[in-house]
């Protein structure tokens, strides 16, 4: 009985140590647990997969800061790999002042893998303050929000931007964000300007966006590291990428930690019930 | 092991922060203060470059005097610190609220209310495959019951008795399941952050993961 009671008062450092081991061992041992993509990842992937090569560019908004990198950076890289492999043009932008460095890091890593050419295959619009106001400005004219790219070169000088005026010329907007800005894309770009919007978000905010899937306001949703891992898996299965699956590797650790936490919850409850029963007897 | 000095600094500071998990200590406090100071300094530079310089200094240096109007309106916020003139602060607040409400109300009603109500309704496509877990009749009915019962749980104008009590009791179950899903996702998010740091330590610092 005492062992049962002690279960609800395990030293937190023991729990930290076990969680650390549950994370480190799968990462080092490369377990490779099975992981299959969910419906909403497949829908997002399928939408991009159906876009014709060398057509109008899709718009990716990568609005997140370094604290969200483990979940969202692999997502951005996976989508870029998919687009570059299929020669789908990309406009990349950010509404977070921390974003440009992260976007440039992703482009520096991914673009050379596919010999993607700046200005022909992709353009980096950079950061613009104003969040929802920027989203609406793009609805009128993308040059109103971004007269020049991140490096000061006017958008009119890029051939791939010649026929891009507003959302009517953008087949899909992908909002990769760790904030509520995705809702801004759904409300302003999706509802007001009838743009197709897909999203990638941190796992914390996933539950908030499910209603937009049910109502058809989002074409797909990548949820946290799991979504990124699924997208990487689809890229590899279709031969679009041979890069190391960053998020895929992390998902092994996530699965093991979840099992461990479930065990802790069960043990904690057993300990709590045992303690309460002992108190009632006294 | 890495030979990059910045990787070493990042790795040692990460370990310093992790040391708090054992107990509070001077190494952790040093890393914490360093992080706070650096973040504030970084944000000040970022704000100056991306906001003040771009939207105040450059336009004024180009003699675009119209910039002075929003700038003056913005500066009215500073009257917050002058008790007798505090009311002037209400002017930019009123303008901001007015513009945002004008922009947002129609589209928010459409996106967050009408479209969501539409998403809750059972439609004819659901009859094609009633057991489809995403768009089947069964899940459609479950969504209707869940939404109605949850809304009734938050209906406080009448005492929860009889059918209302039954419905609100069902509603609280849906709310709890929603919280459970959110909690599960939150755990995944937090673990992802830990995994990101451990991946950095084992990949870029000690090169144990290829």
- Rounded to two decimals, the ipTM of the complex is 0.85
Q: Region B159-169: what's the mean pLDDT? A: 93
Q: Do A234 and A182 belong to one domain?
A: yes
Q: Do B185 and A206 touch (CB under 8 A)?
A: yes
Q: Region A64-71: what's the mean pLDDT? A: 92
Residue A222 structural domain: 39-243
Query: Would you call A165 helix, strand, or coil by DSSP?
Result: coil
What confidence score (pLDDT) does residue A245 get?
86
* Portion 194-233 of A in contact with B at CB < 8 A: 202-204, 206-207, 211, 214-217, 223-226
Q: How far apart are CA A224 and CA B186, in angstroms?
A: 10
The answer to whether position A215 is within a domain reads yes
Of the pLDDT bands very low, low, confident and very high (cuts 50, 70, 90), residue A37 is very high
Q: Region B155-179: what's the mean pLDDT? A: 93
Measure CB to CB from residue A258 to each of B107, B187, B189 and give the nearest one.
B187
Task: Select from A246, A206, A215, A222 the least CA-distant residue to A60.
Answer: A222
pTM, rounded to two decimals: 0.89
Task: Give the position of tokens 């997140």.
Answer: A64
> Cβ neighbours of residue B44 under 8 Å, at least 6 residues apart?
none
Question: For residue A58, what are its two tokens?
Answer: 């899709």
Measure CB to CB from residue A207 to each of B112, B178, B195 and give the nearest one.
B178
Q: Do A230 and A131 belong to one domain?
A: yes
The overall average pLDDT reported for chain A is 92
Q: Do A211 and B119 touch (CB under 8 A)?
A: yes
Q: Do A234 and A258 belong to one domain?
A: no
Q: Within a 10 A sphere around the Cβ of B142, how many other Cβ atoms?
A: 12
Of the pLDDT bands very low, low, confident and very high (cuts 50, 70, 90), residue B89 is very high
What confidence score (pLDDT) does residue A184 get?
94
Q: Do A87 and A209 belong to one domain?
A: yes
Contacts of A136 in chain B (CB under 8 A): 103
Taking only the tens place, the pLDDT of each residue in A91-102 is: 999 999 999 999
Distance (Å) of CA A258 to CA A94, A210, A261, B119: 32, 21, 5, 31
Q: Do A77 and A20 belong to one domain?
A: no
Q: Residue A1: pLDDT above 70?
A: no
Q: Do A158 and A274 belong to one domain?
A: no
Helix, strand, coil tally for chain B in percent (to 5): 80, 0, 20
Q: Do A125 and A191 belong to one domain?
A: yes
The answer to whether position A249 is within a domain reads no
The answer to whether position A231 is within a domain reads yes
Dihedral angle over CA of A146, A148, A151, A156, nearest 10: 140
What confidence score (pLDDT) does residue B132 get?
86
Q: Do A129 and A16 belong to one domain?
A: no
Task: Give the position of tokens 């910039």.
Answer: B67
Q: Residue A257: pLDDT above 70?
A: yes
The answer to whether position A101 is within a domain reads yes
Q: Region B107-127: what's the mean pLDDT? A: 88
Contacts of B46 in chain A (CB under 8 A): 97-98
The overall average pLDDT reported for chain B is 92
Task: Select from A228, A147, A218 the least CA-distant residue to A183.
Answer: A218
CATH assignment of the domain containing A88? 3.40.50
What confidence score (pLDDT) does residue A268 get?
85
Q: Do A99 and A129 belong to one domain?
A: yes
Q: Residue A199: pLDDT above 90?
A: yes
Of the pLDDT bands very low, low, confident and very high (cuts 50, 70, 90), residue A181 is very high
Outline where A50-200 has alpha helix (H): 69-85, 99-110, 132-140, 142-145, 181-184
Q: Do A25 and A123 belong to one domain?
A: no
Among chain A residues, CA nearest to B47: A97
Q: How many Cα atoms sit within 13 Å of A158 on the Cβ side? A: 30
Query: Would you call A255 helix, strand, or coil by DSSP?
Result: helix
Contacts of A126 in chain B (CB under 8 A): none
Q: Do A72 and A110 belong to one domain?
A: yes
Contact B13, B201 (CB under 8 A): no
Q: Region A161-186: what's the mean pLDDT? A: 94
């Amino acid at each position: 009985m005492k062992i049962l009671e002690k279960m609800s008062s395990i030293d937190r450092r023991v729990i930290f140590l076990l969680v650390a081991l549950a994370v480190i061992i799968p990462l080092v041992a490369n377990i490779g647990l099975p992981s299959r993509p969910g419906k909403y990842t497949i829908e997002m992937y399928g939408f991009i997969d159906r876009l014709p090569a060398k057509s109008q560019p899709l718009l990716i908004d990568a609005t997140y800061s370094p604290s969200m990198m483990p979940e969202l950076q692999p997502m951005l890289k996976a989508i870029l790999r998919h687009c570059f492999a299929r020669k789908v043009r990309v406009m990349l932008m950010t509404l977070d002042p921390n974003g440009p460095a992260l976007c440039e890091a992703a482009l520096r890593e991914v673009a050379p893998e596919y010999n993607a050419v700046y200005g022909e295959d992709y353009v980096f619009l950079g950061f613009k303050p104003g969040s929802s106001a920027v989203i609406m400005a793009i609805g009128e004219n993308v040059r109103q929000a971004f007269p020049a790219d991140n490096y000061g070169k006017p958008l009119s000088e890029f051939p791939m931007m010649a026929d891009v005026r507003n959302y009517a010329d953008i087949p899909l907007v992908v909002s990769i964000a760790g904030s509520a800005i995705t809702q801004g894309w759904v409300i302003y770009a999706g509802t007001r300007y009838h743009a197709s919007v897909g999203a990638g978000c941190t796992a914390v905010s996933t539950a908030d966006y499910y209603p937009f899937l049910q109502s058809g306001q989002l074409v797909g949703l990548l949820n946290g590291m799991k979504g990124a891992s699924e997208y990487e898996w689809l890229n590899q299965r279709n031969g679009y990428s041979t890069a190391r699956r960053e998020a895929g590797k992390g998902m092994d650790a996530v699965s093991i930690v979840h099992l461990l936490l479930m065990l802790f919850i069960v043990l904690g409850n057993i300990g709590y019930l045992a303690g309460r029963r002992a108190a009632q007897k006294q | 092991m890495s030979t990059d000095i910045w990787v070493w600094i990042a790795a040692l500071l990460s370990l310093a922060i992790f040391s708090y998990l054992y107990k509070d200590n001077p190494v952790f406090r040093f890393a914490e203060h360093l992080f706070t100071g650096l973040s504030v300094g970084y944000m000040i530079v970022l704000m100056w470059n991306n906001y003040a310089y771009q939207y105040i200094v450059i336009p004024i240096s180009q003699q675009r005097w119209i910039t002075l109007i929003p700038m003056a309106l913005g500066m009215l916020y500073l009257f917050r610190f002058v008790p007798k003139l505090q009311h002037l602060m209400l002017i930019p607040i009123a303008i901001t609220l007015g513009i945002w409400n004008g922009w947002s109300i129609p589209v928010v009603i459409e996106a967050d209310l009408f479209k969501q109500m539409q998403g809750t309704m059972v439609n004819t496509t659901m009859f094609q495959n009633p057991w489809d877990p995403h768009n089947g009749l069964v899940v459609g009915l479950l969504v209707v019951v869940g939404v109605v019962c949850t809304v009734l749980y938050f209906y406080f104008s009448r005492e929860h008795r009889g059918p209302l009590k039954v419905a609100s009791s069902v509603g609280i179950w849906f709310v709890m399941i929603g919280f459970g899903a959110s909690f599960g996702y939150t755990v995944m998010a937090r673990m992802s952050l830990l995994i990101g740091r451990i991946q950095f330590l084992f990949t870029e610092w000690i090169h144990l993961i290829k």
